[in-house]
Amino acid sequence: MDIAADLSIMYVLYIIDKDCANGSIVWDRGVGCHFFHGIPAFQHSASSSGRERRQQPRNKAFSSSSSVAQVQRRIICGAAYVTDGDTITINKQQIRLFGIDAPELEHPYGKQAKWAMVKLCKGQTIQAEIIESDGHGRSVALCTLPDGRDLSAELVKQGLAIDWPKFSNGKYRHLEVAGVRRKLWLADARQRGRMDIWAKFEANRQGQSR
């Protein structure tokens, strides 16, 4: 039985490695595995984005306090199209980076955050472990580079995003550069529920554009 379990683990790691290179959906955490003549095999079904291995459907939990729905964890890999500092698209699936808050494109440092993310993702196969969905229908994922670096952490370390403890439990707070919350004051205001500051900024911006 120990040998069979080892073979199962080795097979899973091989599939993840192999399929990440092909940019397909590769694995659901907790997926059931059975043995066929001593060889581990997975129940799988075809999908438009590639092979997909799924576990049996489970009830989704929803947290009204965070407006985030819990979903089955799965991993997708592929090239990333960058929308802004904390939003990317892989295999036509929009993904919100886990645990951080980057400025909107029209906000101060918004474009810098986007292009920093473009530089990180360019030419790379990004692995996204989808852990939940947000109130805007986007998948929330822990995204990593092939060398294991966390995209959320990298942007925070560059001073172009801040930790969002409501969702991250403070995972990235220690990486924030000095003074970044004054620099990214609109993102900080959103976290503190001060949307009146956003409204004032938008009113001033629209007035200046006339």
Q: What is the pLDDT of residues 165-174, one digit of tens each?
A: 999 999 999 9
Residues 118, 45, single domain; the answer is: no
| Highest averaged pLDDT of the listed ranges 14-18, 72-76, 124-128 | 124-128
- Token pair in block for residue 25: 């959906």
189-193 long-range contacts, CB within 8 A, separation 24+? 190/101, 191/101, 191/162, 191/164, 191/165, 191/166
Residue 93 has pLDDT above 70, yes or no: yes
DSSP SS3 for 189: helix
Domain range holding 194? 69-209
Residue 59, domain member (yes or no): no
- State the DSSP code for 8: H
Residues 46, 73, single domain; the answer is: no
CB-based contacts of 157, cutoff 8 Å, min separation 6? 175, 177
Reported confidence tier of residue 73, pLDDT bands at 50, 70, 90: confident
Q: What is the pLDDT of residues 47-65, one digit of tens each?
A: 334 433 333 333 333 233 3
Residue 64, domain member (yes or no): no
Residue 61, domain member (yes or no): no
Residues 98, 49, single domain; the answer is: no
- 14-23, 30-39, 73-82, 125-134, range with the lowest pLDDT: 30-39
Q: What is the pLDDT of residues 107-166, one digit of tens each?
A: 999 999 999 999 999 999 999 999 988 777 789 999 999 999 999 999 999 999 999 999
CB-based contacts of 111, cutoff 8 Å, min separation 6? 105
- Count CB atoms within 10 A of the CB of residue 93: 16
| CA 22 distance to own-chain centroid | 19
Residue 175 has pLDDT above 70, yes or no: yes
Residues 105/84, Cβ–Cβ less than 8 Å = yes
Residue 100 region, left (φ>0) first, then alpha (ψ -120 to 50), else beta? beta
Residues 24, 97, single domain; the answer is: no
Residue 20 has pLDDT above 80, yes or no: no
Reported confidence tier of residue 196, pLDDT bands at 50, 70, 90: very high
DSSP SS3 for 172: coil
Residues 125/79, Cβ–Cβ less than 8 Å = yes
Residues 111, 169, single domain; the answer is: yes
* Number of domains within the chain: 2
Q: What is the CATH number of the domain that holds 202?
A: 2.40.50.90
Average pLDDT, the chain: 76
Residues 47, 112, single domain; the answer is: no
Closest of 70, 74, 76 to residue 93, by C-alpha: 76
CB-based contacts of 63, cutoff 8 Å, min separation 6? 69, 70
